[in-house]
Amino acid sequence: MNKNSILLFDGECNLCNKSVQFIIKKDKKAKVKFASLQSEAGKKLKEQYQIPETYFDSIVLIDKGKVYYKSTAALRLSRYMDGMWPVCYTLIIIPKFIRDTVYDYIARNRIKWFGKTDTCLVMTEELKSRFL
């Protein structure tokens, strides 16, 4: 099993792509790997972990063999970032239905607010090792 956590994200969403770039900067120990939900690696992981084929509405975090969605995935992800970001994990005490309601509102509007991209992130050799 992969010792790294894997973040699956919507590769066509500008907000998602900017979030991945932010996480890369804040995860200096490179504990998190990335794959677009639309990529071959993403499709294989969706199949392996029984994530619905049509699932593009949320980030998905595969962490220690378990799958986390929406706000829970985002909060668990904060634990891998440097600085004060791990403190965000304390928000896990907020009931999931409240956290996910806010998450769903942003997810529904992310394309309208931030747009879609048809270009890929320019990969350096260092970045290539972070993507599946």
**Residue scoring higher pLDDT (122 or 56):** 56
Give the pLDDT score at 111. Answer: 82
pLDDT in tens, 84-125: 999 999 999 999 999 999 999 998 898 888 887 765 555 666
Least confident of 23-27, 72-76, 110-114, 125-129: 125-129
Distances (CA, A) of 125 to 22, 47, 78, 131: 18, 28, 25, 11
Determine which helix (DSSP H) or strand (DSSP E) holds 105, and give its type and residue range.
helix 96-114
**Residue scoring higher pLDDT (121 or 26):** 26
**pTM score, two decimals?**
0.85
**Residue scoring higher pLDDT (126 or 31):** 31
Task: Report the C-alpha gap between 17 and 38 in whole angstroms.
Answer: 13
Q: Determine contact, residues 100/71, Cβ cutoff 8 Å.
A: yes
